[in-house]
A and B are shown apart, each in its own frame.
Chain A
Amino acid sequence: MRRIKSSIDTGSTEFLANQAANRQLLAEFRQRQDDARHKRPERDIERLRKQKKLIPRERIDLLVDPGTPFMELSSLRACEDYDGKVPGAGVITGIGIVNGREVIIHASDSTVKAGAWYPKGIGKSVRVQEIAIENHLPVIHLVDSAGAFLPMQSEIFPGHKMGGHLFYQQCKLSAAGIPQVAVVLGHCTAGGAYVPTLCDYSIMVRGTGGVFLGGPPLVKAATGEDVSAEELGGADVQCGISGTADYAVDSEQEGLALARELVGTFKRIAKADVDKREPEAPFYDPEELLGVIPKDTNTQFDMREVIARIVDGSRFHEYKPDYGTTAICGYAFIHGYKVGIIGNNGVLFSDSAQKSTNFMGLCNRDRVPVVFLQNITGFMIGKEYEHEGITKHGAKMVMMQSNLDVPKFTVIVNGSYGAGNYAMCGRAYEPRFLFMWPQSKISVMGIEQAAKTLAQIKIASLKKQGKELSDGEAQAIRDDIAHDYEHKSSAYYSTSEGWDDGIISPADTRNVLGMAISASLNKDFKETSNGMMRI
């Protein structure tokens, strides 16, 4: 495979200006992520220390193999909600390496509202379980939660992917032969008691761990019985008398070490067979991506420059380079795994949609996972394009993409608009993982167009009611709408809502994709054999 020849001058004023602007955005992202991970009121930390509990991130450090990366997911979930007071939505999720196995870690963040479940936290937990199911990854639950945040119970309790779904998916994980371990580090009351109980293995810490359907205060209120938490459902009761849990330990450290030992006993799974070779660092420095991405999100850039800074040796075999040139398709290796890449160099036309469809067909037949690099404003519109069947060609792309058997991965590197988001494997199309760069924008159409349309409708309806607006008032309406639309199009809003699996630094893309691809291969995929039609 040939090396991409970059035409970027890393000393040019344009590069340096882009780099300065993107570095600032990256610094802002790092600050927000750092705050979400570590910034807590002193009293919350004190409270845990007094209870002889570890901070959740200390628990994760003890759990994972030393020197291995912990790939945290959705670190900024809920960052634009609850007045920013529930960092990470009160849950820490990610992929770690424990005793040589790739596992999902699902930990209550007891430094946030005593680990209470918020609606977005439930969403985050449900999502990480989906990841476990889709990629056949064992789950370690570190349970230390106050239970549902009662004032918001209506958004937590009854709906499809709400609280109940957590337990449902635990059962589905078990049926799929995916082992789960719980380490009970706090009280699991009511529904929460099912989390450890539905695991294959559960470890309880004496003194702080407790499992009960009704906690001591509820028992007192209901029956008048006076009972201590330890007597009611402490580690010795549940592990020694009831058999509800399996291992009683004296400290968190002991519990976490035991969890590591247990993971080591899990059956090793043969990974899905895909083309691999010795990994090679990119020839062009991934850090240069900050200068490659234009500071103005409406300026076009060559996706090959991005690919060159993600893939092994910056080598890329481009498929059909002279046809459908607004879609860049081709083969490359990422951390030694062969992938098919589809990136955007402009709007999708009939020819670029057909080329992408053909390329995906080849990848699927040949067991090559597909990576989508989104910078897409949508499909081309206009009479000429309708007459040549742009809608039908776009539908082919959506059809092929939706039904891929190979694992697929999406990175939104700049813009993600309209049906382009769909064709390029947005969240709704169930890529195994989806990540976003900090400056990215995501919405059904561009901000200017949408704000104009919305404002026109609002102004027209006010006029119907007989209200004459001054130019200033009309402008104020436009500005308000544009501001709200812009906010809801940002990467932060997306990640807060859980439309992605996290914002990442552009330079980390290669490593994140490498871990994601490696994790995805724990689940084998079927093959659809078919002759490849040139469409």
Chain B
Amino acid sequence: MKREIALGKEFYTVAAHRHGDTYTTTIGENDALSARLEHVEGIDYNVVINGAATPVKLVAHGEQMFIHAFGRNFELNVIDPVDRAAEQSGSTSVFKAPMPGIMVEINVEPGQQVTAGEPLISIESMKIMMVIKAWRDGEVEAVNFAEGEAFDKNAVLVSMVEEECEEGEQN
């Protein structure tokens, strides 16, 4: 299996191939290591790398892992390759109507800064009320219908100002 792992701000590609209870582990372009995790009474685990054992404590929460080893604390995140690729390709700026309906309520104004999850507008279609929430942080560009106005399927209801995709280039 191949995983992308974030350790602090650094990303690593880790490949691990299992042989019994031992994994042949390759980190980036480095040489392969032989690694094994042993459960040890009292101290949680021993990680055995190329035969040398080091005691570690670890707590996992979803894809996040907190590790104490070598006298330090590490926070490690397993990154899903699909998520990471999607993140790098930016995200959409408009919300289109999934079905014809009526604009019921507008909660924001053009130019307003919003955070992800904040309600932008409410619409009603086929007897169902739907609250459209900000799908990312950003600035509202426009709401294209007035309260009470009807719209067709696929009409752009609300748009956010395009994100600049130059992450990391400013340093």
The answer to whether B117 touches A377, judged by C-beta atoms less than 8 angstroms apart, is no
Contacts A2-B80, A2-B83, A326-B98; A296 near B126 (Cβ below 8 A): no
Nearest-CB distance from B118 to chain A (Å)? Answer: 10
Q: Which of B82, B125, B127, B131 has the most CB of A within 10 A?
A: B127
The answer to whether A300 touches B63, judged by C-beta atoms less than 8 angstroms apart, is no
- The one of A3, A346, A384 in contact with B125, judged by C-beta atoms closer than 8 angstroms, is A346
Q: A283 interface residue, CB < 8 Å from B?
A: yes
Nearest-CB distance from A504 to chain B (Å)? Answer: 24
The answer to whether A377 touches B80, judged by C-beta atoms less than 8 angstroms apart, is no
Q: B33 interface residue, CB < 8 Å from A?
A: no
Docked complex Cα distance between A446 and B126 (Å): 10
User: Nearest CB to that of A448 among chain B residues?
Assistant: B127
Q: Mark A283-313, 1 if CB is under 8 A from B, else 0.
A: 1000000000000101110000000000000
Which residues of A sit under 8 angstroms from B62, Cβ to Cβ?
A: 3, 283
The answer to whether B128 touches A325, judged by C-beta atoms less than 8 angstroms apart, is no
The answer to whether B116 touches A377, judged by C-beta atoms less than 8 angstroms apart, is no
Nearest-CB distance from B134 to chain A (Å)? Answer: 10
Contacts A2-B82, A325-B98; A7 near B126 (Cβ below 8 A): no
The answer to whether B82 touches A378, judged by C-beta atoms less than 8 angstroms apart, is no
Q: Mark B102-142, 1 if CB is under 8 A from A, else 0.
A: 00000000000000110000000111111101000000000
The answer to whether A296 touches B129, judged by C-beta atoms less than 8 angstroms apart, is yes
The answer to whether B99 touches A346, judged by C-beta atoms less than 8 angstroms apart, is yes
Nearest-CB distance from A275 to chain B (Å)? Answer: 18
The answer to whether B63 touches A346, judged by C-beta atoms less than 8 angstroms apart, is no
Q: How many residues of B contact A (CB 8 A)?
A: 19
The answer to whether B98 touches A346, judged by C-beta atoms less than 8 angstroms apart, is yes
User: Nearest CB to that of B100 among chain A residues?
Assistant: A382
The answer to whether A3 touches B63, judged by C-beta atoms less than 8 angstroms apart, is yes
User: Nearest CB to that of A379 among chain B residues?
Assistant: B126
The answer to whether A7 touches B128, judged by C-beta atoms less than 8 angstroms apart, is no
Q: A349 interface residue, CB < 8 Å from B?
A: yes
Nearest-CB distance from A527 to chain B (Å)? Answer: 31
The answer to whether A298 touches B82, judged by C-beta atoms less than 8 angstroms apart, is no
Q: A54 interface residue, CB < 8 Å from B?
A: no
The answer to whether B126 touches A380, judged by C-beta atoms less than 8 angstroms apart, is yes
Contacts A2-B80, A2-B83, A3-B62; A377 near B128 (Cβ below 8 A): yes
Q: Mark A340-383, 1 if CB is under 8 A from B, else 0.
A: 00000111010000000000000000000000000001101010
Which residues of B sit under 8 angstroms from A3, Cβ to Cβ?
A: 62-63, 80
User: Nearest CB to that of B126 among chain A residues?
Assistant: A347
- The one of B82, B130, B133 in contact with A7, judged by C-beta atoms closer than 8 angstroms, is B133
Q: Which of B62, B99, B125 has the most CB of A within 10 A?
A: B99
Which residues of B sit under 8 angstroms from A384, Cβ to Cβ?
A: 153
- The one of B83, B99, B127 in contact with A326, judged by C-beta atoms closer than 8 angstroms, is B99
Which residues of A sit under 8 angstroms from B116, Cβ to Cβ?
A: 7
Nearest-CB distance from A414 to chain B (Å)? Answer: 10
Q: A484 interface residue, CB < 8 Å from B?
A: no
The answer to whether B128 touches A380, judged by C-beta atoms less than 8 angstroms apart, is no
Which residues of A sit under 8 angstroms from B127, Cβ to Cβ?
A: 298, 377, 446, 448-449
Which residues of A sit under 8 angstroms from B131, Cβ to Cβ?
A: 299-300
Which residues of A sit under 8 angstroms from B133, Cβ to Cβ?
A: 7
Which residues of A sit under 8 angstroms from B80, Cβ to Cβ?
A: 2-3
User: Nearest CB to that of A326 among chain B residues?
Assistant: B98
Which residues of B sit under 8 angstroms from A300, Cβ to Cβ?
A: 128-131
Which residues of A sit under 8 angstroms from B129, Cβ to Cβ?
A: 296, 298-300
Docked complex Cα distance between A382 and B117 (Å): 33
Docked complex Cα distance between A296 and B63 (Å): 34
Docked complex Cα distance between A301 and B114 (Å): 21
Nearest-CB distance from A368 to chain B (Å)? Answer: 21
Docked complex Cα distance between A382 and B131 (Å): 24
Which residues of B sit under 8 angstroms from A2, Cβ to Cβ?
A: 80, 82-83
Q: Mark B18-45, 1 if CB is under 8 A from A, else 0.
A: 0000000000000000000000000000
User: Nearest CB to that of B123 among chain A residues?
Assistant: A300
Contacts A3-B63, A283-B62, A380-B99; A299 near B117 (Cβ below 8 A): no
Q: Which of B126, B129, B131 has the most CB of A within 10 A?
A: B126
Which residues of B sit under 8 angstroms from A346, Cβ to Cβ?
A: 98-99, 125-126, 128, 130
10 closest A-B pairs by beta carbon, nearest first, are A300-B130, A299-B129, A347-B126, A300-B128, A2-B80, A283-B62, A446-B127, A377-B126, A298-B129, A325-B98
Given pairs A7-B117, A346-B98, 8 additional interface contacts (CB within 8 A)? A3-B63, A298-B128, A325-B98, A326-B98, A346-B128, A347-B99, A382-B100, A448-B127
| Chain B interface residues toward A at CB < 8 A | 62-63, 80, 82-83, 98-100, 116-117, 125-131, 133, 153
Between A and B, 29 residue pairs with Cβ closer than 8 Å are A2-B82, A2-B83, A3-B62, A3-B63, A3-B80, A7-B117, A9-B117, A283-B62, A296-B129, A298-B127, A298-B128, A298-B129, A299-B129, A299-B130, A299-B131, A300-B129, A300-B130, A300-B131, A326-B99, A346-B99, A346-B126, A346-B128, A346-B130, A347-B125, A349-B99, A377-B128, A380-B99, A380-B126, A446-B127
